[in-house]
């Protein structure tokens, strides 16, 4: 005979075995996300996308500057997307011109370590595409290496919330006077899951001998947010900025700003925290002038012109 019982109920025992079904709540910690709560019907955020871009100025050919355009929200898949485009690039070292409203802090730090390992520079700026762009269903065919055509510019660009964690990873880090760097507290979202599990046991001489236990169901049980960081996580943030050569006291500056607000760092603060390595902007990494220097940067890429297509027809 077999019997069943629910945790907290009376025992229904049998001669040989019983099955115990117990319910418990488990808490799983999600990665930190943006502080602002989203309206219920808000459209899905655009995950950060990466694209190789070439300066769309014919006069700099055959050796024009190229860069990686990064734009959008930092999500869990962002590190994998960056690794994918770096793999396609091979050994080329292109700077990253980035704009982002923030997102997942752990993912941002993972992206940062990929950037630092590759030795890439980072500047905050926008990319204006000329013709085909990554958000369209088109294939760039202007250049032999498959790069998109475009222009970099710093005006109105922003890097908020988790974005500065990526900026911190650049070998060279530029934020022009017309770009904005904003910081605030980290919001951690805890999701609760109701797990149903089943334990099978046998009664031997009046005592319970467990045979096996298995999970038979999971259901969401709500979520909640917190902005008070554990000592361990705060230590993790301090270690990251120290690793990147940025003053770790920037963490205190971030945590002093309520999650619902944003504080824009001044140029003096960017220098104070070593979040920038100089007073330049995107033009120092991607302007055509950098490819006229005697010692050309690695992102001045020389390309052979595409073969001219010949179209034959009979009238």
| Beta carbons of 95 and 127 less than 8 angstroms apart | no
The 10s digit of each residue's pLDDT in 242-267 is 999 999 999 999 999 998 999 999 99
Q: What is the pLDDT of residues 233-248, one digit of tens each?
A: 999 999 999 999 999 9
283 and 171 in a common domain: yes
**Helix 231-243 and helix 105-118, axial crossing angle in degrees, nearest 10:** 20
- In-domain check, residue 19: no
The 10s digit of each residue's pLDDT in 172-203 is 999 999 999 999 998 766 566 788 888 888 88
Q: Is the pLDDT score of 1 beyond 80?
A: no
Structural domain tally of the chain?
2
One domain, residues 65 and 197: no
Kindly state whether residues 146 and 264 are assigned to the same domain. Answer: yes
pLDDT of residue 13: 34
Q: Residue 191's pLDDT is what?
A: 67
- In this structure, the answer to whether residues 107 and 154 fall within a common structural domain is yes
Q: Structural domain of residue 199, as residue ranges?
A: 190-222
In a domain? residue 90 = yes
Cβ-contact 64, 288 below 8 angstroms? yes
Instruction: State pTM to two decimals.
Output: 0.75
- Domain CATH for 235: 3.90.226.10
Q: What is d(CA 32, CA 52) in angstroms, rounded to the nearest whole number?
A: 29
Number of H helices, E strands in the chain: 7, 15
The verdict on residue 283 lying in a domain is yes
Whether 264 and 167 share a structural domain: yes
Q: Is residue 255, in this structure, part of any structural domain at all? A: yes
What is the pLDDT at residue 202?
87
Do 181 and 194 lie in one domain? The reply is no
Residue-wise pLDDT for 59-94, tens only, equals 999 999 999 999 999 999 999 999 999 998 888 899
**Do 100 and 139 lie in a common domain?**
yes
């Amino acid at each position: 005979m077999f019997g069943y019982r629910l945790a907290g109920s009376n025992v229904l025992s049998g001669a040989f075995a019983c099955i115990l079904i117990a319910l418990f709540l488990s808490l799983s910690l999600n990665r930190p996300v943006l502080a602002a709560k989203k309206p219920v019907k808000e459209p899905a955020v655009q995950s950060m996308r990466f694209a190789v871009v070439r300066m769309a100025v014919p006069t700099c050919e055959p050796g024009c500057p190229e860069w990686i355009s990064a734009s959008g929200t930092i999500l869990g898949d962002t590190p994998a997307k960056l690794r994918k485009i770096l793999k396609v690039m091979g050994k080329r070292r292109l700077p990253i011109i980035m704009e982002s409203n923030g997102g997942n802090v752990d993912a941002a730090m993972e992206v940062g370590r990929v950037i630092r390992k590759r030795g890439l520079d980072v500047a905050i700026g926008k990319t204006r595409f000329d013709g085909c762009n990554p958000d369209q269903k088109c294939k760039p065919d202007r250049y032999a290496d498959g790069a998109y055509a475009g222009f970099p510019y710093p005006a109105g660009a922003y890097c908020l919330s988790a974005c500065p964690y990526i900026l911190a990873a650049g070998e060279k880090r530029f934020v022009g006077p017309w770009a904005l760097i904003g910081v605030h507290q980290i919001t951690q979202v805890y999701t609760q899951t109701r797990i149903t599990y089943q334990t099978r046991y046998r009664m031997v001489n009046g005592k319970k001998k467990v045979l096996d236990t298995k999970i038979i169901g999971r259901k969401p049980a709500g979520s909640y947010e917190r902005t008070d960081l554990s000592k361990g996580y705060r230590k993790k943030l301090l270690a990251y900025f120290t690793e990147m050569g940025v003053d770790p006291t920037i963490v205190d500056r971030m945590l002093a700003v309520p999650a619902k607000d944003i504080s824009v760092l001044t140029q003096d603060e960017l220098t104070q925290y070593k979040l920038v390595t100089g007073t330049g902007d995107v033009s120092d990494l991607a302007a055509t002038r950098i490819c006229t220097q005697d010692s050309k940067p690695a992102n001045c890429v020389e390309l052979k012109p595409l073969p001219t297509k010949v179209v034959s027809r009979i009238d």
